[in-house]
Amino acid sequence: MFETTLDGPARKTTPDDDDVARLCLVVVWAGDDPDRVGEVLFPEEGGVFGRGPLEDGDDERRVGLVRQQPEKNARAAPLESPFLSRRALKFGDSSDAIEIEVLGKKAIVLGDAQMRAATIREGDVVEIEGLYSFFCTRRPAFLPESPGVKLTRFGRADEHGSVGESAAAWSVRTSVAFYAKRSAHVLVTGPSGSGKELVAQAIHRLSARGRKELVSRNAATFPSGLIDAELFGNLANYPNAGMPERPGIIGQADGSTLFLDEIGELPTDLQAHLLRVLDSGEYQRLGDSRRRVADFRLVAATNRGIEELKEDVAARLGLRVHLPGLDERREDIPLLARHLLTRAAARDAQIKERFFEGDEPRLHADLVRALVLHDYTTHVRELESLLWKSASTSRGNSLELTKDVAKLIKLVSRPAPRDLAAGDIKAALAKHDGVKDKAWRELGLPSRHALHRLMKKMNIPD
């Protein structure tokens, strides 16, 4: 439960219940107050939301926004928009869905419809007309403790360039901070464009090897027939005449960290050549009879399933960090968009002059909604491409959902969870050999966590 105070952060008082994910509304767009993006509203039945501070003596239960970070929910400043009623919304039941009744002048917008009452389900975006947009998701009342992670300005990039305030983003930061201090090799998994190299850099910087330069290569770029030479090095004129001597990337990484991206692209027979060096650091350059030893740590990455790696190679990558795609952290998409646009504006004065007001980019609510609900395949790369398309086709001084952008948007289609029967879930799991990451997408659910909840509710074995 929350410790209700009118000033300062709310903290845990009954930790057993606070770890259960509950439906909430996360601000994804705030037209005149963009610093609100990422703040969270936990509805309470009978609670009222609106302008102005929470006050003692109110004749009804008021609910406000919080800035949720590990172990604390800092109460956000009261909403000050003169266009928002003091009693704007009233909440009903919020167990399986959030019931909203409009009390103020501003209607809510769900999809393309304006309404005075609505049932909001996980994965929906709902807008208080022209003022604020919220994404409905699930979060624990308090995020777990995140030892070793430095808190930075809310909603902005951390010291390693990572952006996000979702539970998934904080889970990754916690794993990175913990694994960085260990000595074992690491495997980073996640879809293309989810930020695996950023995680590898953070693990390296936080480790005892962080003072040395990270050695980074993409295994997919190794020339065919020269993979061993790229990895281990070779003597001059070996294996082909005229080849220069090279130390190999393992030799270069001695005393440091080797980031080997797309390790799954290495043929399995060549993956086996890594076993000895991963165990003992021992290796030989091609053409050299002398054995060498490199003191290095491997951080490998792949967008393939772990089962596609050679089994004994995967076994040596015992520390695992999985990066969620944007479909598993949709509430972070507006924060990432702001970060990408800010980075672009630092290099491009025209972008800064046209689309920014101070340090904040101007984005239309309909564009943000489309970006939050888009079905991504290359994730952050794809998000950046959509933002550039908007910048190049918008005609005003704000980024818009232009026709050209709309053609690229593929909104996630999903049935309401209540429409799924146990047989549907079992069939999807059977079709994908029990791989839940594929099954929940097949079923049109908003996340793998939604699948887990339905399986538990329907007594389907995990």
**pTM across the whole model:** 0.86
Is the pLDDT assigned to residue 354 strictly greater than 60? yes
pLDDT digits (tens, 9 = 90+) for 223-236: 888 888 899 988 88
Cα 399 from chain centre: 23
Q: Residue 192: in which H helix or E strand, if any?
A: none
Q: Please, what is the angle between helix 380-393 and helix 365-373, to 10°? A: 150
Is the pLDDT assigned to residue 13 strictly greater than 50? no
Mean pLDDT value of segment 201-209: 96
CATH superfamily membership of 167-322:
P-loop containing nucleotide triphosphate hydrolases (3.40.50.300)
Residue 14 banded pLDDT, cuts 50, 70, 90: very low
- The burial of 11, by beta-carbon neighbours within 10 Å (0-12 exposed, 13-18 middle, 19 or more buried), is given as middle
Q: Residue 138: in which H helix or E strand, if any?
A: strand 132-140
Is the pLDDT assigned to residue 10 strictly greater than 80? no
Which residue spans within 17-124 are E strands per DSSP?
A: 21-30, 40-41, 48-49, 65-69, 72-75, 89-91, 98-102, 108-110, 113-115, 117-120
216 and 259 in contact (C-beta within 8 Å)?
yes
What pLDDT, on the 0 to 100 scale, is given for residue 218? 95
3 state DSSP class of 345 = helix
What pLDDT, on the 0 to 100 scale, is given for residue 180? 96
Tokens of 417: 């969870």
CA dihedral 192, 193, 198, 201 (to 10 degrees): 30
pLDDT digits (tens, 9 = 90+) for 305-352: 888 899 999 999 999 999 999 999 999 999 999 999 999 999 999 999
For the chain, give the mean pLDDT.
89
Give 55 or 171, the one with higher predicted confidence: 171
CA dihedral 222, 187, 373, 98 (to 10 degrees): 180
What pLDDT, on the 0 to 100 scale, is given for residue 416? 54
Overall size of the chain counted in residues: 462
What pLDDT, on the 0 to 100 scale, is given for residue 1? 36
Q: How far apart are CA 424 and CA 287, in angstroms?
A: 58
DSSP state of 34: G
Which pairs count as long-range contacts for 54-61, CB under 8 Å and 24+ apart, including other chains?
A: 54/6, 54/78, 55/6, 56/6, 60/87
Q: How far apart are CA 327 and CA 446, in angstroms?
A: 8
β-sheet with 48-49: strand ranges across:
48-49, 89-91, 98-102, 117-120
What pLDDT, on the 0 to 100 scale, is given for residue 56? 58
Of 13-17, 116-120, 422-426, least confident by mean pLDDT is: 13-17
What pLDDT, on the 0 to 100 scale, is given for residue 5? 32
Q: How far apart are CA 355 and CA 337, in angstroms?
A: 13
Q: Which CATH number fits domain 1-151: 2.30.110.10, 2.60.40.10, 2.60.200.20, 3.30.390.10?
A: 2.60.200.20
Query: Domain residue spans in the chain?
Result: 1-151, 167-322, 417-457
Cβ-count burial 162-184 (b if 16+ within 10 Å, e if not):
bbbbbbbbbbbbbbbbbbbeeee
- The burial of 188, by beta-carbon neighbours within 10 Å (0-12 exposed, 13-18 middle, 19 or more buried), is given as buried
Q: How far apart are CA 113 and CA 234, in angstroms?
A: 66
Give 436 or 67, the one with higher predicted confidence: 67
pLDDT digits (tens, 9 = 90+) for 94-131: 888 999 999 999 999 998 899 999 999 999 999 999 99
Q: Where are the alpha helices (DSSP H) in 253-332?
A: 268-271, 275-280, 311-316
